[in-house]
Homo-oligomer: A and B are copies of this chain.
Amino acid sequence: MEKIPILKMGKFLLVTIQVDLYDRLALTLEEDLIQMVFKTGSKGVLIDISALSIVDSFMGKIIGNIAGMSSIMDAETVVVGMQPAVAITLIELGLPLSGVHTALNVEKGMALLESRMPPSLDDANDDDVD
């Protein structure tokens, strides 16, 4: 029943994680997110974890999974709002979140995604038509 909402913000998707993820919830989130990437054609996924003061190895794995799946679907993942203590824990747990971009807050994460988008693909297509 419980679900983590996925918000479409322009070209990107935003997920705010506020509660501890347990197995079922994490699986639902992964599935919903991939479906949303498919349906909306989003090129970027922002995962806000500013509400989390603790990240365990399970959460680290889920974030890695989401990044991997999004990458296959041609979308990039940026984790934003990580608290300093969480960064320390992740490294101490041996989970450097490889393959995942990070940014200090949502705005910087969006700027990062924008900067990694190919320069106006639609315009290029228009040129091809000419």
Q: List the interface of chain A (C-beta within 8 A of B).
A: 1-5, 7-10, 14, 16, 18-19, 48, 50-51, 53, 81, 105-107
Contacts and interface: CB of A to CB of B under 8 A. Distances in A.
Contact of A5 (B7, B10, B51): B51
**Best-surrounded residue of A3, A18, A19, A48 (most CB of chain B within 10 A):** A18
A47 B105 CA distance: 18
Contacts of A14: 7
A66 B1 CA distance: 27
Given A18-B16, A18-B18, A18-B19, A51 B10 contact: no
Nearest to A46: B7
Question: 5 tightest A-B contacts by CB?
Answer: A5-B51, A5-B50, A16-B16, A7-B106, A18-B18
A14 B9 CA distance: 11
A26 to B, nearest CB: 14
Contacts of A48: 5, 7
A107 B16 CA distance: 16
A8 B51 contact: no
